Structure 1
Amino acid sequence: MSEKNLKVGARVELTGKDLLGTVAYVGMTSFAVGKWVGVVLDEPKGKNSGSIKGQQYFQCDENCGMFVRPTQLRLLEAAPGSRRSIEDVSGATPTAAQPTKARLSSSRTSLSSSRQSLLGSRTQLTTSLSERTASSSSIGPRKSLAPQNSKDKESSSTSLAEGAQGASGGNGAASHASSKRASLVETGFLEILKPQFTPSQPLRSPSFTMPSSSGAEDKIALLEAQKTSAELQAQLADLTEKLETLKQRRNEDKERLREFDKMKIQFEQLQEFRSKIMTAQASLQKELLRAKQEAKDAIEAREQHAQEMADLQTMWR
């Protein structure tokens, strides 16, 4: 299992041994390389009391402590205060982004309403301008008759003002803005103000929501990278320990091969010595048989000689 989830106080199970316990130590030790986990077992089936070679790593009852590798444990219950997962962090991002979307939709609604009011004011402004143009064309011949009838000129100008007020009075509160816009049209300022209401402006608002989502994705990617790095480090430590074990076994095998070569040489020497002994034994057997035969012949010759002497003695008597 991952070493990131192993913390002091977590409940674990030793795989393959059916033993339960609580994590009391996680880290490096002086008795072996790599990372070890000290577990306080629920039953006195351990190997120590939290100390090895005179160094105390944690405290527990006698035979209730045991040091194992993180890969030999299965997490049953996480340590207190360490249960927040990545899903909680990623799940909080969409809810935080919803107020931004609501503000964006409200800004779009207000922008569309302002555009509609602007279009309405433009229509009214066009109507008032056309009326003024028509009235100004009718004023032309009246100006030529001004020396004859000044009172008609005053009445026509009065009727022109009333016509302009009647055209702009249909909107109530918007009449003042329409008159201002009419003056701006005459001076050419309205063409300068038009680019301020381009529809490309609302496209800027979605950029505010991008950092939050991209930041959450970066955090998730960073957490996953850290988790992967921790797992790779654990695998590297485990493989390093296995490599050291294999090197030690290889050295032991070399020593055994040397002893085997010595015993083989001794065996060959014993075989050669045995063959020599067998050859010597065969020659000794032959000599023994010859000696026995010579002794037998000597005994027979002595007996024969004694018989001859007895016969000679008998003849002399």
Structure 2
Amino acid sequence: MTLASEAETASRAVLEAACTQAGLDPHAAELLRLGENALYRLPGGIIARISRAGQTAAAVREVQVARWLEAQEVPAVQALPNVDQPAEVDGRAVTWWQELPPHRHGTAVEVAAALRRLHDLPPPITFDVGRLDPFVRLSDRIERAATLSEADRAWMREHLAVLQGRYAELPTGLSPSVVHGDAWIGNVVATNDSRVVLLDLERCSVGPPEWDLVSTAVKVFTLAGITIEDYQRFVDAYGHDVTRWAGFELLRDIREFRLVCMAAQAAGENPTRADEAALRLACLRGERGPRPWHWTAVS
């Protein structure tokens, strides 16, 4: 049995147990994605999201944030009503969501508008949304990077410590606000009924708005995934250019390191991704020339 089939078997067992708790029928469940989280579609337009072990607190917050945004009339993925959430099975959290209608990735302008709307909200008062931790789970991902050498992992541990030290002296910028926490273009979608919807709310917290803005800057200047013209439209729509801020390079460096750590963890679970993990690490260490770097998406 391959690692992927083992992971699917394990996630389906978790799904079945969680469905029993929630009074839902798992037998026609369709696997949509098996990556950082496992996603299944159940009959009736229900999406089940299964986290990795140890993420129950984040799942609780994600559901709370989704319901808060719905109350604020901010378009976002909606938690299934009238079901106790999350269910916990073998340390893994299972949450239930209403399936979105057909949709596409948001444009740079749509992402900017969605972030502006989110950042303008006052923080919730009915629950603690928490403080931003830009280093969440990085140590764990480094240790899971089984395809990298011990010397490479040692470099990553040291680099993480350097970034943490620099973040402790982050320059002053925009006023702290509720941030999405993982504001890549793929986490903001436009539906066929003309809504621009926020997805993947598990890292929502209070922190510097620049943390959300730097994702789009990385998309253009590190990855060449969108054009300079797209980025300027993003800046114009949001009303602020994060690249002109003294803390930009630090947040960019942290974002890039997160992308390296994610690929390294993915390679440890699926060795076919090992070349991509090694490439990203080499880029970060200055061995592949200047930005932009051409990285292949992993999940």
Name the TM-score class by shorter chain. under 0.3
Q: Give the number of the structure whose residues are more often helix, by fraction.
A: 1
Select the structure of larger CA radius of gyration.
1
TM-score normalised over the length of structure 1 = 0.15
TM-score normalised over the length of structure 2 = 0.16
